[in-house]
Amino acid sequence: MSDADTPQRSIFFLSDRTGITAETLGATLLTQFDERSFRQSTLPFINTPEKARSALEYIEHTGRTSGLQPIVFSTTVSEDVREILRDSSALFLDLFDTFVPKLERALETKSEHREGRAHGIADEATYRSRIDAMNYALTHDDGVGESGYDQAQVILVAPSRCGKTPVCIYLAMQHGVYAANYPLTDEDLEGTGLPRALKPYRDKLYGLWIDPERLHHIRSERRRGSSYAALPQVSYELRQAEGLYKRHGLPYAETTNKSIEEIATLIMQDKDIRRRSF
């Protein structure tokens, strides 16, 4: 039997809200196994007994179809919903079942069992700070908005298509960090000094570097056959950029095989930016 014909085990991330926490928990654990053998689905807003029964019917149907026991990662708060889901043939792994009773004993108090605390708007001011950081990242992207660099907590610098924008957006969304980014052009890379717009903000700068073959591939998807995507041009830009980082003592990260989350964590650690979770 080929891999294409091999049944995949159904994995469900189930929650009474968005499912982000369940996805994060489950996906992290599944990285320790062959993820090609899984078929992953998210079931958000399962917050009533009726929705729970409907979800359970679907989950058990996938198990009968594949012949493999489904696995459910759950972060639903409602005891009524969890009671229904526990009564299934699936392997039911619930964050609250696992940890809340132990926390209640340690803290000598009962939990509030309130839905949506993980990704809801628990504090309006905190939520607003994240929106402000997002707006900042979008209005200071790709060298735009240089007059606002004094507000930045970090300014990412690198040649085009090295991943500056998605990292800035992630920093804003996840941690409320004011992150701008500046693309290093040929003119910037021909000289030995920092670009004029960046000189006053040297302490906020952080460089990104990527393998030339990888950047060649990324640029080719956008402008195949152009000098912009040519491997010699890409190699030149990256070589010059790394020289710039080293000459001016700028911290920088090699990002070829790193996720956005890893890159963001490195930046925050190296620049001593306090992590904030919302």
Q: Which residues fall within 8 angstroms of residue 95, CB to CB, at 6 or more apart? A: 21, 22, 25, 73, 74, 75
Q: Does the annotation list 163 as a binding residue?
A: yes
The CB density around residue 72, as the number of other CB atoms within 10 Å, is: 24
What whole-number distance in Å separates Cα of residue 86 and Cα of residue 84? 6
Q: Does the annotation list 162 as a binding residue?
A: yes
- For CA atoms 263, 269, 272, 274, the dihedral sign is positive
Q: Does the annotation list 226 as a binding residue?
A: no
Q: Does the annotation list 165 as a binding residue?
A: yes
Mapped onto helix, strand or coil, the DSSP state of residue 209 is strand
Structure-block tokens of residue 217: 């591939």
Q: Does the annotation list 161 as a binding residue?
A: yes
Half-sphere exposure of 244 (CA within 13 A, CB side): 29
Structure-block tokens of residue 124: 């309006």
Q: Which residues fall within 8 angstroms of residue 162, CB to CB, at 6 or more apart? A: 208, 209, 210, 215, 255
Q: Does the annotation list 125 as a binding residue?
A: no
What whole-number distance in Å separates Cα of residue 104 and Cα of residue 199? 53
Annotated binding site for ADP: 158-165
Residues tagged in the binding site annotation: 158-165
